[in-house]
Amino acid sequence: MTNNKKTILSGSTVTGDLTLGNYIGAINNWKQLQDQYECLYFLADLHALTVHQDPKILKERTYSFFAQYLALGLDPQKNIIFVQSQVHEHAELAWILTCLTPMGYLNRMTQFKEKSEKHVKNINAGLYTYPILMAADILLYQADLVPVGEDQKQHLELCRDLVGFFENRYGNGILKMPEPYIGKMGARIMSLQEPDKKMSKSDENEKNFVSIIDDPKKIEKKIKSATTDSDTVVQYDLTNKPGLANLLTIYSVLSGKTMKELEADYEGKMYGHLKVDLADLVVETLRPVQAKYSDLMKNKDHLNSLMAKGAERARAKASSTLKKVYDSVGLL
Ligand code: ATP
Ligand code: LTN
C-alpha cells in the first residue's frame, strides 16, 4: 500500500445474516476497490450492542461475518479487515466527540426515531449516541471516502458536522473531512416478498432475503416463492413489475448477461423457468463461497490470528489520530 492512495472505510453492524444484497451491493464492489484504494472494512460489534444481544450469539456471529467476508473474496492482505471492539481507540474517540455533539443534532436522526419505536423496551443511550461512534470509526482512519447506503447518509452528515465543530474549537486540521462514496456501485437488491423495500439483513421475515450461508434447498424455496405479478412476459420493467425486475437484476449481476440478453433468453417462457434457473445460478455462485466459509469456521485459531493482525494494522493508524486529538483537547 502506498501513501498517496485515498482511504476508503466501511463497516457492517454485526446483526442478522449477511445477504445476497450485501454481497451484490457492497462486498462484491469492495473487491474491485482493493487495488486502487487503501481499504479498511470492519465489523461493527460495538454498534450491535445498541440492541439486546445474546453474548454467545454475538461472538459466533462476529466469527461468521469475518469468515464470510474472506470467503466472498476480500483479501486480508490487500485490505485491513478487523473487528471494531478489538481497536479500543473507537470507544475513546467516541467519548471526545460525544462531548462536542449538541443533543439537538442527535434528536434529528431518523434511524434513532425508527429504532426507538421498534425497541420500545430498550431505548438505551447507546441507540441515541450511535452516530457519534460511527463518526469516530470514520475519523480515526482519516477516511477520504465512505461507501454507505441511503439510510446512513444522515449519520455521515453528522460526522462531517463534527469535523467542523472540532476544527472551530481546536482548529488544527487533525480530522479529515470524509465524503460519501458513490461509485459505479452494484445494484440495489430488493426484498423478495416486498420488492418495494430493500433486502435487509435484519429483516424479521427470512423469506425476504437470501443469506450467503443458506443451504441450497432454502435458496431454491425462497427464490421460487419470490413475489412477482400476474403477467407472463419476462421483461425488465421496474415500475410495473418490480418483483420480476429484482430477480432479473440479481440474474444479470451474477451471470454477467445484460437485461436484453435475459429478455431474449426467456422469450415465450414463463416466470417459473426464470426462477428455477436463477435459483440454480445463486446456488452455484454461493457453493464455493460456502465451502470456503465452512473451512474457515472450522479453524477459529486461524480466524483469531487474522483478526489480531487486522486489529494491529488498524490500531497503528487509529492510535496516531487519537494521540493528536487527545493532545489538542488538553489531555496529558
Ligand atoms: P440492516 O438491515 O441490518 O441495517 P443492511 O442489510 O442494510 O443491514 P448494512 O450493514 O447496513 O446492511 O450494510 C452493509 C453494506 O451493504 C452497505 O454498503 C449497504 O449499502 C449494502 N447493502 C445492504 N443491503 C443492500 C441491498 N439490499 N442492496 C444493495 N446493497 C445493500
Ligand atoms: N451504521 C452502519 C455501520 C457502520 C458504518 C460505520 C458504516 C458503523 N460504523 C462507519 C460506515 C462507516 C450501518 O448500520 N450500516
147 within ligand 1 shell (Cβ under 6 A): yes
Contact partners, residue 177, CB within 8 Å, separation at least 6: 160, 163
* CA 36 to the chain's CA centroid: 20
50 within ligand 2 shell (Cβ under 6 A): no
Say how far apart CA 271 and CA 228 lie, in whole Å: 8
Mean pLDDT over 246-264 rounds to 96
Could you tell me the three cell numbers for 255?
451471470
What residues does each domain of the chain span?
Answer: 7-182+300-329, 206-294
51 within ligand 1 shell (Cβ under 6 A): no
Confidence band of 180 (pLDDT split at 50, 70, 90): very high
CATH architecture of the domain with residue range 7-182+300-329: 3-Layer(aba) Sandwich (3.40)
CA of 10 to the centre of ligand 2 (A): 6
90 within ligand 2 shell (Cβ under 6 A): no
CA of 13 to the centre of ligand 2 (A): 6
Residue nearest to atom 11 of ligand 2 (CA): 10
CA of 11 to the centre of ligand 2 (A): 5
Question: To 5 degrees, how large is the angle CA 257–CA 263–CA 269?
Answer: 125
User: Per CATH, is 206-294 categorized as 1.10.240.10?
Assistant: yes
Which residues are known to be catalytic?
115, 198, 201
The pick from 134, 151, 202 for probing ligand 2's pocket by mutation, whose C-beta has the most ligand atoms within 8 angstroms, reads: 134
Q: What is the pLDDT of residue 221?
A: 98
CB 147 within 8 A of CB 26: yes
For residue 44, the 8-state DSSP code is E
In the chain, % of residues over pLDDT 70: 98
198 within ligand 1 shell (Cβ under 6 A): yes
Q: What is the pLDDT of residue 29?
A: 86
148, pLDDT greater than 90? no
Residue nearest to atom 11 of ligand 1 (CA): 12
Q: What is the pLDDT of residue 32?
A: 87
The CA–CA distances, whole Å, from 189 to 33, 71, 115, 220 equal: 20, 21, 22, 17
**pTM reported for the whole predicted model:** 0.94
Q: What is the pLDDT of residues 258-283, one digit of tens each?
A: 999 999 999 999 999 999 999 999 99
The pick from 13, 22, 127 for probing ligand 1's pocket by mutation, whose C-beta has the most ligand atoms within 8 angstroms, reads: 22
Say how far apart CA 143 and CA 38 lie, in whole Å: 9
Q: Which atom of ligand 2 is nearest to the CA of 13?
A: 3
Q: What is the pLDDT of residues 190-224, one digit of tens each?
A: 999 999 999 999 899 999 999 999 999 999 999 99
Q: What is the pLDDT of residue 57?
A: 97
Confidence band of 183 (pLDDT split at 50, 70, 90): low
Cβ atoms < 10 Å from Cβ of 254: 18
Q: What is the pLDDT of residues 77-133, one digit of tens each?
A: 999 999 999 999 999 999 999 999 999 999 999 999 988 888 888 899 999 999 999
* CA 327 to the chain's CA centroid: 33
Q: What is the pLDDT of residue 323?
A: 98
* CA 108 to the chain's CA centroid: 23
134 within ligand 2 shell (Cβ under 6 A): yes
Q: What is the pLDDT of residue 1?
A: 47
The pick from 115, 201, 210, 212 for probing ligand 1's pocket by mutation, whose C-beta has the most ligand atoms within 8 angstroms, reads: 201
What is the distance between the terminal CA atoms of the chain, rounded to a whole angstrom?
Answer: 33
Mean pLDDT over 281-308 rounds to 98
